[in-house]
A and B are shown apart, each in its own frame.
Chain A
């Protein structure tokens, strides 16, 4: 059993950094917690349930440059943005966040392979810590995830009962490599060391019943959608803080002579998202937009990729300004099927 002690973390980070990696970890910054670059282990916030920002931001930033263009008299110069090549280790990732990235691999490699997503994926090592704490909003166990979901994690750390460190489970080759690169700082425990109990997250609905209700075409026009989304104000909090929401918009910034083409997050909650040039909007109401969000995650994505596009992190409910969220919607649907 391999053990990483907390007091060895700075040494571990130093070695990893010497190999050309930047270290990222969940940090608290005046109420705006996220996975951010750190220098020292004491910057890491181990206490929070989850940061507000998700791991997807590391691979799919909220705004990124795709290309630069210059328009001259008879020619257009296009310069593509460099493929990202920063080597990163993300330490202390919540398993639901890592799983979200794994789920998004499917869409980013479907009809085209997204270079910048996979360049970052290949250059990044994800070291997750299994959850020993949860809050009222966590619901990973309801959507087929768990406090130690291993999807897209290269290493999973299990907290020791005495809180002095973690037991190491190497999951991928990348994970094995990074652990072997810091081998002299890793302890080999002769006997079994007691592990902390993992968070016990209650199952809030039966996902099969929910997906079968959603799959019934008759329910597409159910009055339920109007009722459940009445108080939705149509902001992008739930989508932008979601570990799997991946919709984006392409925007040119500049003038007629030169500019930058950028990829920005976009949200199906916004009325503009589906507004046609003609003025027609096929999703004219907030109810139809909320239905789309639920259907995408629990019907269309599973149909296409055999994956539920939700890891149960609970951020959509936790940070919703009007106290909505996926959990309540699915709990209600679950009740219809009882």
Chain B
């Protein structure tokens, strides 16, 4: 606990000396198990900040909502490693200016909070390089492998069952920092690309499109899965695609802010065996 209070004290200090004019952090929630995003503008308010093992949500989603960054000079934000990688992706996709962000980095391991050294996103390159080495190991992929081992019919049945629950509330999209489009493809109707209805076909279309748009962009923060009100295991899809781009292209999403998107860049040594 000593450590986590160091970080909230730091946030307070940044506001006091006007190093930043906004802190996005965690506050206590409606119940004792819940934590919620807080937007803190003064050192006094910063006393309400909390940081503990329940602070799971990737707050970077707020950096791309309603042009938030345009209203502040500099923003400090509590981020875990997936959140830090989010900054790299958003910067490389030119959605945010990385130098406007002061990172208050932390990591939750086994119920403990560990404070991460660094402040600008580049300070965490080594940490991210280390994460890449153990990304998508067999333990993390056990549930995905289980589905992969099924026959195609069974796999289809599994996902049909899961997607049929979808009510198209788009909580997965709204909770995702990478889903920043002002107008999502499901909202385009001239022509209508995606079925709007929440029937099984429409749900397949939505969930597959969502997965494809996140391939090589998802940092695995888990916001989508936590937000889903009907418990669709979206992270199984995200991890599957994440492992695919790592294995095929040696690409770990959000490694640096200059990283080019894997699906829109070409390298001479990219695997090309699919070309007939």
Interface residues of A, Cβ cutoff 8 Å to B: 30-32, 52, 62-63, 136-137, 230-231, 233-237, 239-241, 249, 251, 253, 262, 264-265, 267, 270, 272, 285-286, 317, 319, 321-323, 325, 327-328
Residue numbers in B under 8 Å from A52 (CB-CB)? 229-230
Compute the total of residue contacts between A and B using a CB distance below 8 Å.
98
B229 pairs with A319, CB closer than 8 A:
yes
A231 pairs with B169, CB closer than 8 A:
no
Residue numbers in B under 8 Å from A136 (CB-CB)? 30-31
With beta carbons under 8 angstroms apart, the residue of B175, B183, B187, B231 that contacts A235 is: B175
Complex CA gap A321/B173 in Å reads: 12
Residue numbers in B under 8 Å from A270 (CB-CB)? 170
Interface pairs A-B: 4 shortest CB-CB: A321-B227, A236-B169, A235-B171, A31-B231
Complex CA gap A62/B197 in Å reads: 8
Residue numbers in A under 8 Å from B226 (CB-CB)? 321
A323 pairs with B167, CB closer than 8 A:
no
A321 pairs with B197, CB closer than 8 A:
no
Name B139-181 residues within 8 Å CB distance of A.
165, 167-171, 173-175
A251 pairs with B174, CB closer than 8 A:
no
Q: Tell me whether B62 is interfacial, beta carbon within 8 Å.
A: yes
Residue numbers in A under 8 Å from B29 (CB-CB)? 323
Name B158-216 residues within 8 Å CB distance of A.
165, 167-171, 173-175, 183, 187, 192, 195-199, 202
Residue numbers in B under 8 Å from A231 (CB-CB)? 36-39, 62
Complex CA gap A230/B38 in Å reads: 8
B231 pairs with A63, CB closer than 8 A:
no
B170 pairs with A63, CB closer than 8 A:
no
Residue numbers in B under 8 Å from A267 (CB-CB)? 169
B30 pairs with A253, CB closer than 8 A:
no
B65 pairs with A31, CB closer than 8 A:
no
With beta carbons under 8 angstroms apart, the residue of A230, A233, A264, A325 that contacts B30 is: A325
Complex CA gap A52/B166 in Å reads: 13
A233 pairs with B197, CB closer than 8 A:
no
Residue numbers in A under 8 Å from B37 (CB-CB)? 230-231, 322
Return 8 A-B CB contacts under 8 Å, by A number. A62-B168, A230-B39, A234-B65, A240-B167, A251-B196, A264-B198, A265-B198, A321-B171
